[in-house]
Every structure is written in structure tokens, then in C-alpha cells.
A and B are shown apart, each in its own frame.
Chain A
Amino acid sequence: MEHNMEIAVATDLAAGHPGRPSSATRVADIMSSKLVTLSAHHTFGQAVQLMTNSPFRHFLVIHADGRLAGLFSDRDVLRALGRTPNWQAKNVSGVMTHKVFTVTPETPLSVAASEMLSRRINCLPVVGNDGKVCGIITSTDLLRSYQKIQAALENDSCGTSADSV
């Protein structure tokens, strides 16, 4: 199964979506939909290399037909490195999470946030009606959205000393 998988990198840097920031209510409003696809043949060693050279923290593993195969985070990789002596030869599927909780573009942001909190995860793949991965939403995407709405709400804030810290 490995050979027809691809690694898709969630470009959380690309998440600067202009559309409706302060009225964002659904996953589609703030998710990163640009997924960079890399080599189809990959080992754990390649995943480590990728992680070292990129700013991303979450990696989706998808089948050739676009369906989600699994997910792994930098934490998963680091944890595996610590306990796996010959990790270079291992396959990514050995460290990835296979049963991944996903959302749809229509999922309300409050639901996405509470799922992340209760599951203690930082990333949810977004799967469309066709069953294919169409994006990813991370806690950083949510916080970026929060920042905009919170700044707008802070006219009656509790202090102004923030500039000094």
C-alpha cells in the first residue's frame, strides 16, 4: 500500500485567507486548502528530512485517489525517533495515526475547536463530500481567526500595558 501513498504537506503558512476574517464561522472560511504533494515513495527518513527543512508540523498521508490514509505530526516523529534505533529504514505508516478524526468544510469552527481541545490534537484534515482531502485546519488557523475577532472586540479591554511586554 505504501507505494501509492503520497505525502501532502499542510501549508499552514498559506492560511492568510483574506475572505471574511472576523465573520469566520465554518471550517471552509479559514482552512488551508493548498496542500503541497511530495514524493510518492517515502521512508521515515524522508519524513524527518522534510520536517527538518520545512516549517510545517502536521503531515497528511493520502492515497493516490485523494482519500486520507493517515496523519502524523512532528511530535509523533520525534517520539518515534527517540525509541526507534534504525528509524531511517522504517516506513511513515509505522508512525502515522491511522484513525484520524476529520471535519468537513461545513463544520462550524466551534465544533472544530472543541474537537481539537477534547482530543488534545492540533490539526484536523478537511474531507469533502467526495471523500477526498480538500484541506487542513490547525490550531494556528483557529488562533489567527481568533486574533482578528478578539482585536475587534477589545475596545473595552482591561488594560493597555501590552505594548510594554
Chain B
Amino acid sequence: MNQGNREINARESSMAAPSELTGRYNCVADVMTRKTVSLSPHHGLVEAVSLMADRHFRHIVVVDTGGQILGVISDRDILRTLARTSNWQTKDVSQIMTRDPFTVKRETPLSVAVAKIVAKRINCLPVLDDEGKVCGIVTSTDLLKAYQKLLESLQRNRAAL
């Protein structure tokens, strides 16, 4: 086990307040989670499992040394592997990740991000910057939060009329 290569990255973030004027979010950058958890493809599945076991997230992005996206792993992928593979301890992240995942950019309109998540039956979209590096992740939970805030502001507007 080469611990030196087993770096786990996490970046801080929180959802910004919706626009004062409109009371709503417009693009992915407004709601995305900047704190992503990433692994390298050669990490063992064991690491992915222990990472996910005691924390509150469901998606791990898999990146190369240059920060370019290679794939994503969800808790479902992991659970499925654990359930079906007796020798899962020997598996690598690269063997169970979803390769070439759908991605979005910071400025992608939220409606487009939602449409992708719904149509592709996925729950997360890595967010790439202009250089193609992962700068965040937008999940169905982030989007549901945005919808919930929108619904509340619509309710307030309706009540004010």
C-alpha cells in the first residue's frame, strides 16, 4: 500500500444565497458543492468504501494527476459491488467507476443540469472549469435544495399578493 499516492482531496464550500433580485438561482455555480472528494483510479475500492462509510456524501470523483476527470463512483456503485463481488477488497476504483461521466460547467443553466440528471437517471454531475479540471460537483440534492428555496420564495410572493 503506497500511502504517498493515496491523497484524498476536499475543498470547502457552501451554497450561496439566491439572487436578491430574483430570489432564485440561475446557473450551476450558484448551487454546486465545491467540496469534492476525489480519488485516483489506482486507489483500492477499500478506500472508497471507508471514505463513504462515515461521511455524508454519496459521490466520489476520480481524477488523474493533472486533475482531469476520469470517472465517478456513487454509493450505489459501491453497494452493488459489495453485494455481488465476494473479492471486492481486491478491486480498484478504476474497475467500478463510471467512465467519461456527463459533466457541466459553472455557467451551465440549472434547467440544463436538472434535465441531464433526470433524463440520464443519475444523481451527480461533476463541474469542470475552462481547463477541464474538476472544480465542483452538482448533485440532485443541491438541485432539490434550489427548488425548495424557489418554492418558498414563490409561496411568499403569492402570500404577498
Contacts from A to B (Cβ < 8 Å)? 25, 55, 74-75, 78-79, 81-82, 108-110, 113-114, 116-117, 120, 122, 139-140, 142-147, 149-151, 153-154, 156-162, 164-165
Contact A78 B104 (CB under 8 A): no
Among the listed B27, B115, B140, B146, which residue makes an inter-chain contact with A139, where contact means beta carbons less than 8 Å apart?
Answer: B140
Q: A165 to B108: give the CA distance in the assembly, Å.
A: 8
Q: Quote the shortest CB–CB distance from B147 to chain A (angstroms).
A: 4
Contact A113 B151 (CB under 8 A): yes
Nearest residue in A to B106 (C-beta to C-beta)? Answer: A159
Interface positions, chain B 110-125, Cβ under 8 Å from A, are: 110-112, 114-115, 117-118, 121
Q: A158 to B31: give the CA distance in the assembly, Å.
A: 13
Contacts from B to A (Cβ < 8 Å)? 22, 24, 26-27, 29-30, 56, 75-76, 79-80, 82-84, 103-105, 107-112, 114-115, 117-118, 121, 128, 140-141, 143-148, 150-152, 154-155
Contact A117 B111 (CB under 8 A): no
Q: Quote the shortest CB–CB distance from B140 to chain A (angstroms).
A: 6
B144 proximity list for chain A (CB < 8 A):
113, 116-117, 139, 142-143, 146
A159 proximity list for chain B (CB < 8 A):
27, 105, 107-109
Q: A121 to B38: give the CA distance in the assembly, Å.
A: 24
Given known pairs A109-B151, A162-B105, A165-B103, the reply for A55 and B121 (CB within 8 Å) is: yes
Contact B151 A158 (CB under 8 A): no
Nearest residue in A to B116 (C-beta to C-beta)? Answer: A165
Contact B118 A157 (CB under 8 A): no
